[in-house]
Amino acid sequence: MIKGVRTERAIDKGAIDQMYEEGYLYAKYGIYARKTHGCKIFKVPMNANFTCPNWDGRLSSKGCIFCPDFARQFTYDSFRRVITRDLRDQVSDQVEYYKKKGAGEKALVYIAFGTNTYKPLNELKDIFDAAIDHEDVIGLSIGTRPDCLPDEVLDLLGEYVKKGYEIWIEIGQQSVHYHTAERVNRQHGFAETMRVVKEAHKRGILTLIFLIIGLPYETPSEIVEEARVVSALGVDAIKLYPLLVMKGTRLAKEYENGKYRPISKSEYASLSADFLEHLSPYVIIQRISKDCGLDGKVVPKWRTHRFLVGPRIEKILMMRGTKQGIKHKLGLDMEELKPMDGKITATDVL
Ligand code: SF4
């Protein structure tokens, strides 16, 4: 066994319970990771030059309407530093950089940009081997589409789990609703994710789903239903964020033509609070919002960074006197069906 990482798949519910006892209003990943690993964990982004079947013509050549050209228009400094360099160099430079900044002691390599399981199996193995080939790396977090995770790729990832690494797949679902998937040209539905989560868990792989709040034509009740659906699926974590309209995307054109209204700061905060209330208390929140640098973003005009938005959401929960999972309920409480003295039950009526 290596590096002292957890090998079991299941999320540690006891650690999450402890967090609520300590007063946290939702299951924050950073706190959870520190509790379960005994040290601060940070993520280092890595670019292994993946393309996407929704962009290279295999499924479509248009991409999702919000795809900022394979995310390369994002302007984080950390993303700028990882463009097309040797993979091992990328990881060691990033680990050194984040450690110097005091981000933590151990790292998860986050393979971002494009669809990061969309290559032949032997190439994937070389990439994943390079990504974990550093003494401070405890595992991988791989961003991908749910239709690009066949059994053989999951088997390969399962091999790293057996060796003691923590392996996450970050599934770009964005919405569980099929009408939205069609509207934004995802080229897949929710069935693919249902299969992937089940198959991943069999192999000890942890699962995370990306969900966007503010997608065109989604109603508040549909957003709440998303919380219920991902809870029922038993996903381990989510990343929640507002829809960011980036320059050059098709959605930017829709916005310019008055066909898309961006979500406001207060709408996002209040809908996220609703979402959290209906989400299982044991789904870890890896991200509550995100920003992307101001020069590439068209709307929302407000600053979407999680450090600014997270506290606002917490304030709403605090004012409501609620927290994550407070309204989470899947099905009736069957105790209610017991006959009560002097009261008519359904059986009496029949
Ligand atoms: S699946 Fe991801 S990378 Fe592919 S087009 Fe959509 S947003 Fe872009």
Over the chain (350 residues), the average pLDDT of each successive run of 10 is 46 95 97 95 91 91 80 46 74 94 95 92 97 97 98 98 96 96 96 97 96 92 97 97 90 94 96 98 96 78 92 98 97 76 58
Q: Whose Cα sits closest to atom 7 in ligand 1? A: 67
Closest CA to 27 of 165, 170, 208: 208
Which of 67, 72, 119, 211 to probe ligand 1 with, by most ligand atoms within 8 A of CB? 67
- Give the tokens for residue 266: 């207060």
The pairing of strands 206-213 and 237-242 is parallel
Q: Report the pLDDT value the prediction gives residue 248, as an integer from 0 to 100.
A: 82
Query: Cα dist. 33→45, 120, 137 in Å?
Result: 18, 32, 14
pLDDT computed for residue 345 by the predictor: 59
Residue 69 to residue 50: CA distance in whole angstroms: 12
Which pLDDT does position 293 carry in this prediction? 61
Q: Give me the sign of the Cα torsion angle 16, 18, 19, 24.
A: positive
Ligand 1 atom closest to residue 185's alpha carbon, by position in its atom list: 6
Residue nearest to atom 6 of ligand 1 (CA): 64
Name residue 139's beta-bridge partners: 108, 166
Q: How far is the CA of 178 from the centre of ligand 1 (A)?
A: 16
Q: For a pocket test of ligand 1, which of 50, 55, 171, 193 has the largest count of ligand atoms closer than 8 A to its C-beta?
A: 55
Pocket of ligand 1 (CB under 6 A): 52, 54-55, 63-64, 67, 70, 114-115, 145, 172
- Pure H helices in 218-290: 220-233, 250-256, 265-278
Residue 80 and residue 244: Cα distance in Å, rounded? 19
Question: What ranges do the domains of the chain cover?
Answer: 13-349
Two structure tokens written together for 61: 């050549």
**CA-proximal residue: ligand 1, atom 5 (nearest):** 63
Distance of alpha carbon 343 from alpha carbon 350, whole angstroms: 14
237-242 β-sheet, strand order = 41-47, 106-112, 137-144, 166-174, 206-213, 237-242, 284-287
Is residue 300 reached through a cis peptide bond, with omega within 30 degrees of 0 on the bond before it? yes
Residue 66 contacts residue 248 (beta carbons within 8 Å)? no
Candidate CATH numbers 3.20.20.70, 3.40.50.150, 3.40.50.300, 3.40.1160.10; the one for domain 13-349: 3.20.20.70
Q: Atom 3 of ligand 1 has which residue's CA nearest to it?
A: 114
pTM score, whole prediction:
0.91
Distance CA 281, CA 327 (A): 10
Ligand 1 midpoint to CA 7 (Å): 31
Q: Are 193 and 146 in contact (CB under 8 A)?
A: yes
The residue among 247, 208, 282, 283 whose CA lies nearest residue 43 is 208
- Which residues are CB-neighbours of 322 under 8 A, at least 6 positions away? 273, 277
End-to-end CA distance of the chain: 62
Ligand 1 center–CA 314 separation, angstroms: 30
Shortest-distance atom of ligand 1 to CA 68: 8
DSSP reduced 3-state for 106:
strand
The alpha carbon of 241 and the centre of ligand 1 are apart by a number of angstroms equal to 15
Residue with the smallest CA separation from ligand 1 atom 2 is 114
